[in-house]
Chains A and B, each alone.
Chain A
Amino acid sequence: MLSIQNLTASVLDESGTAESNQILRGIDLEIGPGEVHAIMGPNGSGKSTLSNVLTGRAGYGVSGKVLFDGADLLSMDPEERAAAGLFLAFQYPVEIPGVGNMYFLRTAVNAVRTARGEPELSATAFLATAKEAMAELEMDPAFLSRSVNAGFSGGEKKRNEVLQMTLLQPRLAILDETDSGLDIDALRIVAHGIEKLRNPERSMLIITHYPRLLEYVKPDRVHVLRAGRIVREGGPELAYELEEMGYGPGEATAEPADATPTDTADPSGSHAEPDDGPQAPQARSLL
């Protein structure tokens, strides 16, 4: 379903030329239909850059090849990628004051349906679908009438991401640290929401620091990303090994952090999530 071949990426400076240090330095990854892959790795290894490049965020100089269901993903606009079935659950979901969540969700669902040649959902049909999905995620239907993510707690934002994923029914979902900042209950609800979407036709790429989410959504393969390369691969047991042993000494990371345009633009600038209580006790950093 997804075939990444020798993918490299550098951040572009303001004039549009690539800065010297590459963040991704030749990634190869194959994800088959229905497969769930996890990518783990220390901060700054390029995990968020990978998800940004796959979804088509501007600001990167990219080389290599990515095939999505056989099509050249890198030549597609972000909205075309979404229509083709790619979905990214953002690490930091964006607040959009003034755009109602319901209007946003329905516009997105109908845009994707139109692009896929399916009829648009009526307001009533959409509302029924949305409410059902929200009940599964234990979300208050009042969230539909609020602005997109505006004033949502960290946990509410992550649930809203999984809600969007449920409504958009992607072929491939990339989950970028969807588990970060969630307390134990919220993690369970979100994880169940994700696991429920698992089916033989839908693949997932889970980016995470912690094996906890992977207990709920068991991956077929685990990859370790380090300094822009995949340095280890294994089965689900690799996640536990990493938690026990750490990523170990190795090639020093070339960059201080994922130098992505998103990171600098993130208003909160931290992983702190206000209203979902303290970090889960098992969520110990691996480094």
Chain B
Amino acid sequence: MSTAVRTAARIPGELLDSLAGDRAGESHPTVWSEWLEANGLPDPSAEEWRYTPLDEMAEALFASRPAGSPGIDPATFDAVAPRHGGVRLVFIDGRFSEELSDSPASADLEEPLPPGARVGELCGLQGPHAADAAELLGRWALPQGEDLAPNDGFRALNALGGGDTAVVSISPGVAVGSPIHILHLRSAAAGDDPPTLSQPRTLIDVGSGASCRVIETHLSMGAGFTNATTRIRVGVDGHLHHIRVQDEHHAAHHMGDTVVETHRGAHLESIAVNLGASRSRCGIDLALCGEHATADLSGLSLLSADQRCDTVLGVDHRVPNCTSSQDFRSIVDDRARSSFCGHVLVDHGAAGTDSSQSNRNLLLSRRAQADTRPWLEILADDVKCTHGATVGRIDEDARFYMLSRGIPAEKAESMLIGAFAAEVIDDVEPPALRDTLYARIDELDQGAHS
């Protein structure tokens, strides 16, 4: 703890003040300031923070400040912002942009949202959706909340100075066909201003028997720090397909924190794609809270130059008879480094648990690195838990086989790299997003030859 306190002491008071001031109208900013002063940023020696370059993260965080005013003009925005077919909500520097977002009732949408599906900014919601969302947020937001996995300073910072909350709330029994797209964009600092700090928040609440797809994208226009939290609840027999894409500016720092709970019979499919940022962390904490739920978590990181990306999973089987799978892959070029820590906890009494974990890393250069750490903690009997990890290079036998058929070396390599990623990417919808990912893999591979 001493390390944590020492780190906390370095959080500039000016930064804390600027964040607290940002939410002056809300109830308990002092709670967060006090919590941060007492606990600080995470202890670098803790297992789940072991591979995260916390020093560099802290340095970038401390140097950044919330953007003064929304710093992007609509033309620039249109040039960079992807569209995925369904309704799109846009948040710039953590603030909801009504101007750039679709109106859910808009006639321009291919498929209008059905009644019972609400999307928008938390404060703009009304009725039971807003109450549910507020209740969820409140539960997750408490510093020592019972449902929260070990709390940390980044969560506290987001709670202290987080932006508007993007909410997707689907009423029981409602099925939404087209994907709901939540786009968080951090602007570049203007002139001599310090790099920008953005703290996006996303809340997804899928009601009993409801289903939807959500694509959550994080982009940025320049160096700076993004400290994002996403909170997800999948209700009884609910179904969520969630894709999270981190494609930030190459000099950016990104802290991603996703917390999910699934209830009885729920089905979650989650794909985490990490493409951008100089330093990034992709944390996912999943609690299986009701029996017979299925959660398939997968992820792909494409890293080059001196990028680092740390994927940290906490999967908590709290009740019997749930199934989870984790399939995380990384493709690492140049001097980049990918890390993976996959903690699976099977609680006392969680009999009938079926969990499988796979982490595979493909290194494209001699100086590329991958760390992999499966971490199974099984406190129940009668469970099935498997894990496997590999770090390797392109299979020479397969490569030669392709060359011997006349396929040029570059093409053979890109086919093999694509095949490595395919198992994760082929679950990505819509197809246009999948094609974009394959194109990014090709770019990475081209870079390897230049």
Q: Are the CB atoms of A55 and B404 closer together than 8 Å?
A: yes
Q: Are the CB atoms of B409 and A107 closer together than 8 Å?
A: no
- Collect the chain B residues with CB atoms within 8 Å of residue A98's CB: 418-420, 422-423
Residues of A235-263 at the interface with B, using a CB-CB cut-off of 8 Å, are 261-262
Report the contact-size class of chain A (Cβ under 8 Å from the partner).
20 to 34
Residues of A73-102 at the interface with B, using a CB-CB cut-off of 8 Å, are 77-79, 81-83, 87-88, 90, 93-99
- In the complex the two chains form, what is the Cα distance from A104 to B405 in whole Å? 9
Nearest CB to that of A113 among chain B residues? B406
Q: Are the CB atoms of B411 and A111 closer together than 8 Å?
A: yes
Pick from A57, A103, A147: contact of B400, CB under 8 Å: A57
Is the CB of A128 closer than 8 A to any CB of chain B? no
- Collect the chain B residues with CB atoms within 8 Å of residue A56's CB: 403-404
B interface majority secondary structure: helix
Known: A97-B419, A98-B418, A99-B416. A78 touches B400 (CB 8 A): yes
Known: A98-B418, A98-B419. A262 touches B397 (CB 8 A): yes
Q: Are the CB atoms of A83 and B406 closer together than 8 Å?
A: yes
Q: Are the CB atoms of B420 and A78 closer together than 8 Å?
A: no
Q: Are the CB atoms of B406 and A82 closer together than 8 Å?
A: yes
- In the complex the two chains form, what is the Cα distance from A77 to B402 in whole Å? 12
Q: Are the CB atoms of A77 and B415 closer together than 8 Å?
A: no
Residues of A163-215 at the interface with B, using a CB-CB cut-off of 8 Å, are 164, 168
Q: Are the CB atoms of A82 and B401 closer together than 8 Å?
A: no
- In the complex the two chains form, what is the Cα distance from A115 to B419 in whole Å? 25
Is the CB of A58 closer than 8 A to any CB of chain B? yes
Pick from A81, A88, A104: contact of B415, CB under 8 Å: A104
Pick from B402, B405, B416: contact of A168, CB under 8 Å: B405
- Collect the chain B residues with CB atoms within 8 Å of residue A112's CB: 405-406
Residues of B289-322 at the interface with A, using a CB-CB cut-off of 8 Å, are none
Q: Are the CB atoms of A108 and B407 closer together than 8 Å?
A: yes
- Collect the chain A residues with CB atoms within 8 Å of residue B398's CB: 94-96
What is the number of residues of chain B that contact chain A, defined by CB distance less than 8 Å?
23
Nearest CB to that of B415 among chain A residues? A99
Q: Are the CB atoms of A104 and B400 closer together than 8 Å?
A: no
Q: Are the CB atoms of A78 and B403 closer together than 8 Å?
A: yes
- Collect the chain A residues with CB atoms within 8 Å of residue B407's CB: 79, 104, 107-108, 111
- In the complex the two chains form, what is the Cα distance from A96 to B432 in whole Å? 25
Is the CB of A265 closer than 8 A to any CB of chain B? yes
Q: Are the CB atoms of A77 and B409 closer together than 8 Å?
A: yes
Interface string of B324-343 (1 = CB under 8 A from A): 00000000000000000000
Q: B420: shortest Cβ distance to chain A, in Å?
A: 7
**Residue of B397, B400, B404, B411 ringed by the most chain A CB atoms within 10 A:** B404
- 16 A-B pairs whose Cβ atoms sit less than 8 Å apart in the complex: A57-B400, A78-B400, A79-B406, A79-B407, A79-B409, A81-B404, A88-B404, A94-B398, A96-B416, A98-B419, A103-B415, A104-B402, A108-B402, A108-B406, A111-B411, A265-B397
Chain A interface residues toward B at CB < 8 A: 55-58, 77-79, 81-83, 87-88, 90, 93-99, 103-104, 107-108, 111-112, 115, 147, 164, 168, 261-262, 265
Closest CB pairs A-B (n = 9): A98-B419, A82-B406, A108-B405, A112-B406, A78-B403, A94-B401, A99-B419, A98-B422, A111-B406
Q: A56-B404, A79-B406, A98-B418 are in contact. List 14 more A-B contacts (CB 8 A).
A: A56-B403, A79-B404, A79-B412, A82-B403, A87-B404, A88-B404, A94-B400, A97-B419, A104-B405, A108-B406, A111-B405, A112-B405, A115-B406, A164-B405
